[in-house]
Structure 1
Amino acid sequence: MPELSEITNNIEQTFKTKFNSSPDMFYSPGRINLIGEHTDYNNGLVLPAAIDKYIFLAIASREDDEIHIFSQDYQDSYATSLSAIQISNKLWPDYILGVIDQIQKLDKKLRGVNIVFGGNIPQGAGLSSSAAVECATAYAFNSLFNLGFNSLELAKISQKAENEFVGVKCGLMDQFASVFGKENKFIKLDCGSYEHQYIPFDTDQYSLILFDTQVKHSLASSAYNERRQQCEYGVQLIQKHYPEITSLRQATQAMLDEFIKPFDAITYKRCQYIIQEIKRVEDACNDLLESDFRQFGKRMFQTHEGLKNEYEVSCKELDFLVDFVKDYPEVLGARMMGGGFGGCTINLIENKAIDNISNSTAIAYEKAMGKAMKIYPISIVDGTKLLKDARNESK
């Protein structure tokens, strides 16, 4: 992968130039979610996987408590100290600072660090570049300072950084996928218990292709938090009659019909989508285990309809891309992916037709929307890892 080699070499060279030392290097992948959108913060099921788009992080400890961070992609610097961590006015440092903040709250002793990071995860495409930065940071600090966290703890620290420091109330799916990814496997994750099962993506006939609308989700953060509040409100309405229900994972359609529908039509739509989507993940995993890719693809289309009409987090660009490919028999399934209001559609396409369909869709999209569409072929890969240990190399 020459592109990745060039990125890592550039980051390492930048680090040596700026800090006059050799770094340890870590990488963490972005993720896709095949099905199970917005179910994670409802303690539901999701089916993500780590993909071959990465954040690379070069790091070395300092003798003082200062933190010096350089973003290779933004060509921008930020500096603070362990005792003065607060929200930056730039956003990009906050994913790293939030992780450091969480580690310190767990009473772990740290020293200052120098960091250079960058990668090739498209921003705003719904591929969780933020989670990859957080997980790379958590993994790097765990390794550098021998903190003793296990993989689940690292994912939770990264999630908490995004929830409490950055202010996006995401579930654990993104961070879990970044850390626990496994080559050619999807992760069936129970977001209530954190139990997980690897589901093979075992086919040489079909591939997953992302079509990027090039629309950034300007509404995504506020709408994401609003959808989460609506789901929580639905649970509260049910709890008046069933106090033991603590999430939509435990709710039934009958409960929605009786206790939500008469009082709040919007909340009813949101909750109904979630309950249906959790069931779809269960069914979709069975499809994959039986190698029934056509039935699986139908469920992808169903998810998009739910996200468009009931959860209302799609947009005209995403809808155009899904509608356009529906008529191709070689496209088994397509849907919007991620928080919504932009980003990518994920498409399950017969290999022999990928080039033709990708090109036709790109031409039609640019004509209809007046902007170019980007195409990302993806592979399913392993999760967060140490790439290079400069400490051992120097011994």
Structure 2
Amino acid sequence: MTITVLSNKFQELFHSLPERAFFAPGRINLIGEHTDYNGGHVFPCAITYGTYAAARKREDQLVRLYSENFPDKGMIEFNLNKLDYEKDHHWANYPKGIIRFIMEAGYMIPTGFECVIKGNIPNGAGLSSSASIELLTGVLVNGLYELDIPRLELIKIGKRVENEFIGVNSGIMDQFAVGMGKENTGILLDCQTLKYEYAPIKLENHKIIIMNTN
């Protein structure tokens, strides 16, 4: 996956160059399954698989989103003045929820934007594709409009979207790992207090293998 490919698709759809490109990783959890939503400790790390976006601000209130992963859904459009969950908007409800809660937090998003998104995280594989697109949208909006939103606030907004907008009863681990992950580093996270510390992962001659075992 290259930014050039994404930029070319953006030009094909919107007949202009994107202003900026963004990326958010997926995550694995090395230990602590099903403890995050119970306020326990987890040890996740970010991975190189993730979600990419190319975006450009518009001059009106319209948001136009296209995903290379869901081409059958076509271009999804909505207005900044109407940010309700809509079943027909499918995957785009994740970005929509992020935009809504950022604005509800008091940050000004003065115009809409257009965006092409593509991820290489397999859907439903337990690698946090939804958290990846949530944080991707957060850093995209933060960057395009220079909002200066703290990363931890974006992480908390991502969890709110998952719980309150999408309706999934999940913890904060996924968004935290995606938002705070570093290369070759795990995160020991207390999901109750959000206290954390980084721990280097030095695999040397070893590898972490991700498998679908069902």
TM-score normalised according to structure 1 size: 0.52
Could you tell me which amino acid in structure 2 is paired with residue 21 of structure 1?
S
Match of 1:97 in 2: 96
In 2: Cα distance, 1:182 partner to 1:106 partner: 27
**Which residue of 2 is the match for residue 85 of structure 1?**
83
User: Distance between the aligned counterparts of 1:106 and 1:15, measured in 2?
Assistant: 30
Code of the residue aligned with 1:174 in structure 2: it is D
1:16 aligns with 2:15: no
For residue 231 of structure 1, what is the aligned residue in structure 2?
none
Give the C-alpha shift of residue 106 in structure 1: 1.2
How far is the alpha carbon of 1:95 from its aligned partner?
0.8
2:60 to 50, 55, 64: 64
The alignment partner of 1:53 has SS state of strand
Matched residue pairs, number? 209
1:192-241 Cα offsets, whole Å, 9 max, x none, are 1211111121131321101124xxxxxxxxxxxxxxxxxxxxxxxxxxxx
Cα distance between partner residues in 2 of 1:116 and 1:201: 33
Aligned AA for 2:24? S
**What does residue 207 of structure 1 align with?**
207
Kindly state the Cα deviation for residue 130 of structure 1 after the two structures are TM-superposed: 0.5
Give the 3-state SS of the residue equivalent to 2:78 in structure 1.
Answer: strand
Letter in 2 for 1:126: G
Q: Which moved more, 1:43-52 or 1:202-211?
A: 202-211
Greater share of residues in helix = 1
Q: Distance in 2 between matches of 1:38 and 1:179?
A: 19
- The equivalent residue for 2:164 is 164
Give the partner amino acid of 2:104. K
Q: What SS does the corresponding residue of 2:198 show, helix, strand or coil?
A: strand
Identify unmatched segments of 5+ residues in structure 2.
none
What is the distance in 2 between the residues matched to 1:179 and 1:29? 8
Does the alignment pair 1:115 with 2:110?
Answer: no
Could you tell me which amino acid in structure 1 is paired with residue 16 of structure 2? S
Provide the secondary structure at the position in 1 that maps to 2:90: coil
Residue equivalent to 1:373: none
Does structure 2 retain, via aligned residues, the 8 Å contact 1:62–1:113? yes
Gaps of 5+ in 1: 214-316, 318-395
What are the equivalent positions in structure 2 for 1:108-187 lying under 5 Å apart? 108-110=107-109, 111-187=111-187
Instruction: Specify the alignment match of 1:55 in structure 2.
Output: 51
Displacement after TM superposition at 1:115 (Å): 1.1
Residue identity (%): 40
Q: Is the 8 A contact 1:11 1:72 kept in 2?
A: no
Q: TM-score, normalised by structure 2?
A: 0.93
User: 1:26, CA displacement in angstroms?
Assistant: 0.3
Q: Matches of 1:85 and 1:39 in 2, distance apart?
A: 32
Structure 2: how far apart are the matches of 1:127 and 1:20? 33
Q: Distance in 1 between matches of 2:58 and 2:81?
A: 15
Runs of 4+ in 1 over 3 A off after TM superposition: none
- Which one has a bigger Cα radius of gyration? 1
Aligned AA (2:22): F
Whether the 8 Å contact between 1:65 and 1:112 is mirrored in structure 2 is yes
Alignment correspondent of 1:26: 22
| DSSP 3-state at the match of 1:140 | helix
| One-letter identity of the residue aligned with 2:105 | L
**Alignment equivalent of 1:39, drawn from 25, 35, 39:** 35
Report if the CA contact (8 A) 1:99-1:138 is conserved. Answer: yes
Measured in 1, the distance between the counterparts of 2:169 and 2:113 equals 28
1:35 Cα shift?
0.5
1:73 partner SS: coil
- Measured in 2, the distance between the counterparts of 1:203 and 1:18 equals 42
